Amino acid sequence: MVPLIPTRLKIGLDVPWVTSWTEEIQGGVGPCPTVDGQPAALQAWKPGLGKPLYSRNHLRRQRDSVRAMLCPMCGDATTAGDRWSQTGHFVAAGALRTRGFGPALPVDLDDDRVLLDAGAIAPQHLKCAQASLQRCPHLGAMPDRELKAFPPSWVVVPLYVAAENSVTGRPLSAVSFLQLLGITEGRDANWRDRLPSV
Ligand SMILES: [Zn+2]
């Protein structure tokens, strides 16, 4: 067996806290506190072991980051007024409903209400977002480099994968990642005009 050489990369500086490492094997389904005990996809917790997989978020840390509003870069809690998203984009609630998000959105949320769809990436501290933008070639090359203030209220949407019960073998749905939608005060009366033509 090849001994693992401790990494010199610093989590929270060179590698985001939420990033998976090669020794963190994915597998199995079990109740997870990040989704109030619902079945969720599980992954070993060994941050810093092996090599970072920059394009792959750790399943548990990703859910933790959204549920507890932990900064995906440093892993510490963010507070209201210091939550920033670079990769999020604005979209009207009605447009999300046309894409099947209806059941996940509050019924009293008007179709023209603008949401900040952060995808699976929880907002960062301003200092962490600025550092990420400077250090990460992928983020630096994006056409949209604007840091957007994350709204004070939001909706969490669980994303599911097909799995099976390890005892009975019966199929079940397990939560993989959590998607985050910030609810802005903005309105977009012409949101229908921006729907992709079919
Ligand atoms: Zn941070």
Kindly list the domain boundaries of the chain, sorted by start residue.
Answer: 19-194
Would you call 38 helix, strand, or coil by DSSP? coil
β-bridge partners, 164: 171
Per-residue confidence (pLDDT) for residue 45, from 0 to 100: 97
CA distances, 149 to each of 13, 16, 24, 80, 122 (Å): 22, 20, 32, 10, 12
- How many whole angstroms separate alpha carbon 93 and alpha carbon 187? 10
Tell me which residue of 34, 36, 82 sits closest to 58, measured CA to CA. Answer: 34
Residues within 5 Å of ion ligand 1 by Cβ? 71, 73-74, 125, 128
pLDDT of residue 4 exceeding 80, the answer is no
**Position 183 confidence tier, pLDDT thresholds 50, 70, 90:** very high
With tokens 């749905």, the residue in question is 173
Q: What is the pLDDT of residues 137-181, one digit of tens each?
A: 888 888 888 999 999 999 999 999 998 887 888 999 999 999 999
Quote the ligand 1 centre to 82 CA distance (angstroms). Answer: 10
Question: Above pLDDT 90, what percent of the chain?
Answer: 79
Q: How many angstroms separate the alpha carbon of residue 128 from the centre of ligand 1? A: 5
Q: Which two tokens stand for residue 163?
A: 């799995």
- Read off the pLDDT of residues 29-62 as tens digits, 9 standing for 90 and up: 999 999 999 999 999 999 999 999 999 999 999 9
How large is the average pLDDT for residues 66-82? 97
Start-to-end CA span in the chain (Å): 54
